[in-house]
Structure 1
Amino acid sequence: KGMLKLTQFYPTHCNRNDYTLDDAIEYGKKGGIVDLTTSSYPYFPEYEVKPSKSVKLLLDAGIPIERITFTSDACGSLPGYDADGNLIKLEMGRPSANFRELMDTVKEEGIPLETAVKVLTTSPADILKLSQKGRIETGKDADLVFISNNEIYHVVAMGEFMMKDRKILKKGNYE
């Protein structure tokens, strides 16, 4: 046994394939954190485990929701290679990936919204020790997403509308 705690490591892409997820389940049972990547699933469904399904499998294995997170890799590049290792495509993940997988966690996997939403709010904030994030409380820096009929209508971040009435007002550097 070493001196480092499992919670000092934050492995990501744990749903990259079924055997990585199996390892992540064992890691989570020992007290480790498990991060699931949402932005790449639709591009590699032949071997990736759907993030929403991964949450269900992790919870069923006894891993607490407080140690499960969703991330999108900031919707970075999604390269595709042929059998010889040559780059044959390069796509970009979609910012909607986290929302889509959150909704699927609730609707397809039957996880209550108040539990599922933690993978995008309190769990990452607590794990990363971002005490001002993850909760809507007085004095905290809450970013807000307003949803109606399973669609995002408004997004407020750092006190400013980023999206209002489904219209994007501010874009990221690579959009």
Structure 2
Amino acid sequence: MNNFSAIATVGMSDVERFVDAEYPAQLGLESPAAWITTDFARRAPLVIEHDVKVDDALYMMKKAHVKAKLVVDAQNRFLGIVSASDLQSHKVLMQATSKSIPRSEITVRDVMTDKAHLHGFAYQELENASIGDVLYTLQELGEQHVLLLDKSMQSLRGMISAADIARALHIPIDITQRAHSFAEVFHVLKSA
């Protein structure tokens, strides 16, 4: 700790106001989409390795109070996304049954949404997009998340989720997810 020094502090007894926020306290559908973006240039993405067991992954997500994480391999290459809902869904038992292994052996990779099924748009599109535009896009796709691609670097630059929008606007958002496989369609029909 010899390389650090204490920062001078000041008393708070005379302070009554807050600095004006960079963004308005009350966001709306017309507000710029950039205001609710998780930009990986400013904040590292929340990631989880593909071989983590689903129960361990769910525990980690609950402890961190997050609803989704990006899935990576051992070399930190992007593979997909997994949500807390995925980790508690019928996918876990379906995978255990189809692989004839105990539920406790199912990994994140088994239940994640592969990047081939995810959608994104260029980060540069945020310059002209509103929160309403993003919400409409999510609803049209039937997805909880949209990824942002930095086209110049061919890298994942950020993400916007329906949960981020709901939290920012203080409104409930229900996006009906679309099935990615016949097995998922079959399960929905069987449950009905």
Q: TM-score, normalised by structure 2?
A: 0.24
Q: Tell me: higher relative CO, structure 1 or 2? Use CA pairs within 8 A at least 6 residues apart.
A: 2
Tell me the TM-score normalised to structure 1 length. Answer: 0.25
Structure with more of its chain in strand, by fraction: 1
**Which structure is higher in helix share?**
2
Bigger Rg, which one:
2
